[in-house]
Amino acid sequence: MKIGIIREGKNPPDKRVPFTPDQLRDIQKEYGGKMTIQVQSSPFRAYSDQEFLDAGIDVFEDISDSDVLFGVKEVPVDQLIDGKTYFFFSHTIKKQKYNRKLLKAVLEKNIRLIDYEALKDEEGNRVVAFGRWAGIVGAYNAFWTYGKKTDLFEIKRANECTDLKDLHLELSKVQLPPVKIILTGSGRVGNGAMEVLNSLKIHEVSVHDFLHLYFDEPVYVKLSSADYNRRKSDGGFDKEEFYSFPEKYESHFQKFAEAGEMLISGAYWDPDAPRLFELKDIAAEDFQLSVIADVSCDVGGPIPTTITSSTIADPVYDVDRQTGEKIPAFGKQTSISVMAIDNLPCELPRESSKEFGIQLTKWVIPALLEENSAILERATIARDGDLTIEFIYLTDYVTDHE
């Protein structure tokens, strides 16, 4: 089996890699008789071509003779090679409109597409993800944004930090007033964000205290779905029902928006679930949120102020409270500043890639050598020109001519 690591084709190119040079060297050493590895040359990666060569990995411009191709972000349609097996984040399983053409092309080209997001163990837990790093960088960016908006402190951008240690060193410069911060998300993203909050020594408080008490220091509340969603019929909440039938629920997040000044959003969102609030709500005088870091970055999703994604080069935009329109960042003191970078781990690409590669080495590399590996079968979106049973629900998404 010949494994290829493709050059990232999206623009701007992602600096992350699925595996580091040392990881590929170790894989080649352990599975040398069963698989060979080659890397497509790239001037953009956080790890240079020379680092791969120094690790004993072949680097070529053309790796189209590979059987299995690993990337990170979506592969542009014109770069897809017929009949190959691909691993990447396809961003199609929520029926994202902007990637409909990609999935159609995958089917037309008889590609086997295995999506990292769908790689799960037998209990249904994801086994490979950049979530922790998205949470760390997203929360850091929330405070960078708050510092720029208030002129209370200045820290350098996350992508200017050499590593996680340097990032934590920057956080020591943060001086906060008694601001109330809301965090959503209890998975990798939420836990990554908590690393930053804990580094700043910000205390966690209960929902009741967050809503009703005054504090003379910064505090945060970590919300679960049950804290801001309620059944439409009677105001109750049942976790299993919520995840199975989210359309039966409505949001009552407004009370948190009235109490908090910052929102760090890292919760998974089902398209059938209610939004946290509506765009018209931000015009209300008691809507206090002024900085929103949408780490999950679902455009058109649970945070309606996420009008578009932002970029590492241009990380923040403002939303005018009266018109709901996007305006330049920090132009009006009264507007809401939104950080919605959709590739946050790319700001610390070497460390995030290393952790991701450890997960792939553990779960995917051995599975590639198994016949009909269960973990790979469950994550296969398309094969031989058809959607798999698990993802047959995407049929109308693919055939829609909108």
Q: How confident is the model at residue 94, as a pLDDT?
A: 87
The residues assigned a catalytic role are: 73, 91
Tokens of 149: 């908006």
Which residue, 138, 174, 141, is CA-closest to 157?
141
C-alpha span between 231 and 247 (Å, rounded): 9
Any binding-site annotation on 159?
no
Any binding-site annotation on 295?
yes
Tens digit of pLDDT for each residue in 26-82? 999 999 889 999 999 999 999 999 999 999 999 999 999 999 999 999 999 999 999
Neighbours of 223 (CB within 10 A): 24
Any binding-site annotation on 132?
no
Tens digit of pLDDT for each residue in 239-269? 999 999 999 999 999 999 999 999 999 998 8
pLDDT < 70 regions, the chain: 401-402
Q: How confident is the model at residue 331, as a pLDDT?
A: 86
299 within 8 A of 307, measured Cβ to Cβ: yes
Q: How confident is the model at residue 33, as a pLDDT?
A: 86
Any binding-site annotation on 99?
no
Whether the CA torsion 231, 191, 139, 94 is positive or negative: it is negative
Q: How confident is the model at residue 400, as a pLDDT?
A: 81
Any binding-site annotation on 341?
yes
User: The pTM is what?
Assistant: 0.91
Query: How do strand 180-184 and strand 262-265 relate by DSSP bridges?
Result: parallel
C-alpha span between 309 and 291 (Å, rounded): 15
Q: How confident is the model at residue 401, as a pLDDT?
A: 65
Angle, alpha carbons 84-117-350 (nearest 5°)? 90
Q: How confident is the model at residue 333, as a pLDDT?
A: 87
Any binding-site annotation on 196?
no
Q: Which long-range contacts (CB under 8 A, 24 or more apart) does 43-50 make?
A: 44/7, 44/8, 44/13, 44/14, 44/15, 45/7, 45/8, 45/15, 45/16, 45/17, 45/349, 46/15, 46/16, 46/17, 46/349, 46/350, 46/353, 47/17, 47/20, 47/21, 47/350, 47/353
Domain boundaries defined on the chain: 2-128+349-398, 130-345
C-alpha span between 318 and 305 (Å, rounded): 9
Q: How confident is the model at residue 402, as a pLDDT?
A: 59
